[in-house]
Amino acid sequence: MRPYLLLTPGPLTTSESVKQAMMSDWCTWDEDYNIGIVEVIRKELTELASSRSEEYTSVLMQGSGSFCVEATLGSVIRENDKLLVVANGAYGKRMGTISEYYHINYELMGFEETQAVNPEKVDAYLTEHPEVTHVSVVHCETTTGVLNPLKEIAQVVKKHNKTFIVDAMSSFGGVPIDMYELGIDFMISSANKCIQGVPGFGFIIARRSILEKCKGVARSLALDLYEQWDTMEKGHGKWRFTSPTHVVRAFMQAITELKEEGGIAARHVRYTENHKVLVEGMRELGFKTLLPDSEQSPVITSFYYPDSSFNFKDFYEKLKNKGFVIYPGKISQADTFRIGNIGDVYPDDFRKLVAAIKEIQAVK
């Protein structure tokens, strides 16, 4: 049933059993759905995210991951607060754009797209600007694939006693994160990323004690994080507006398969091996990675164009004909393309990809 493997950061290749889970219809008012599926997912998410799950709660939100980022920023940061957006790519900058739309008082601390966030600079800024109340950062910036030093950033943010918001869109479920240990207050991700579900909703895992105080803060009706959470709490899994039932059921199957694989740690091992096979194979073919290995995530890998005559569109179509779909580059500094390592894909898939690229090179 697969026309090709999606080697992208999401949507990504899903298992046949996840697809099969969408073949039944569900009633949004029925307890079989709300209690039997939604509430199970909410509990599982907090347990996956924190060693002290009782201190956290989760909220599911219709739409893509950006809907959830917007819901969080718009529902948590008050008129008199100040947000520091730490950005080294398009998705960090998007949090600044959201702040503009919502008239949030914010400052954007920018780093080069090929540079990991420097925690020392964040520390210095917070020392000089005690008026900052919230700090946001992207864990894995899929613009390039850089993995920001989350532990070190978290230590700085907590040292200054700020509320910490993490966009873990492309890392949660594939890279171990303990919200309690790190002191993360809000963590945002999406169904169609490392847990290997399909697009249609995202989720926010929040420190319960902070979210409980956010009533009336939101500037949006549909993206009111507190009201969405309050309705789910009181209604035992009930959504405020029509939920993507098929997608939600598929996500529960995806969580089951994550546990069967051995949890996040085991999935991280597989993704890391996918990345290793890919990079070693591509380097043998003469391709160079955009990032140094020390800053590279196992989620998505950026490669330079091999030469000035390289035609990405032609390369893309030839690979697609061989059963692989990859991503164009997203930075302005260099000509690159990206290959995702996540999803229901395995090291052998990347060996086959490298072999396909070698065949394409041979017929030039």
pLDDT in tens, the chain (364 residues): 568 999 998 899 999 999 999 999 999 999 999 999 999 999 999 999 999 999 999 999 999 999 999 999 999 999 999 999 999 999 999 999 999 999 999 999 999 999 999 999 999 999 999 999 999 999 999 989 999 999 999 999 999 999 999 999 999 999 999 999 999 999 999 999 999 999 999 999 999 999 999 999 999 999 999 999 999 999 999 999 999 999 999 999 999 999 999 999 999 999 999 999 999 999 999 999 999 999 999 999 999 999 999 999 999 999 999 999 999 998 878 899 999 999 999 999 999 999 999 999 987 6
5-9+263-362 belongs to which CATH class?
A: alpha beta
Pick from 78, 69, 99: nearest CA to 203: 69
Closest CA to 324 of 364, 286, 358: 358
pLDDT at 364: 63
Q: Report phi then psi at 11, rounded to 5.
A: -60, 155
Name the pTM for this structure.
Answer: 0.96
Please tell me the predicted confidence (pLDDT) of residue 245. Answer: 98
Does the 18-259 domain belong in CATH 3.40.640.10? yes
pLDDT in tens, 102-116: 999 999 999 999 999
Amino acid at 144: T
Q: In the chain, where are the structural domains located?
A: 5-9+263-362, 18-259
Predicted confidence at residue 333, as pLDDT, reads 81
Q: How far apart are CA 27 and CA 236, in angstroms?
A: 14
| Cα–Cα nearest to 271, from 196, 323, 343 | 343
Q: Looking up tokens 């949507």, which residue turns up?
A: 11
Q: Which long-range contacts (CB under 8 A, 24 or more apart) does 79-82 make?
A: 79/105, 80/105, 81/105, 81/133, 81/134, 82/106, 82/107, 82/129, 82/131, 82/132, 82/133, 82/134
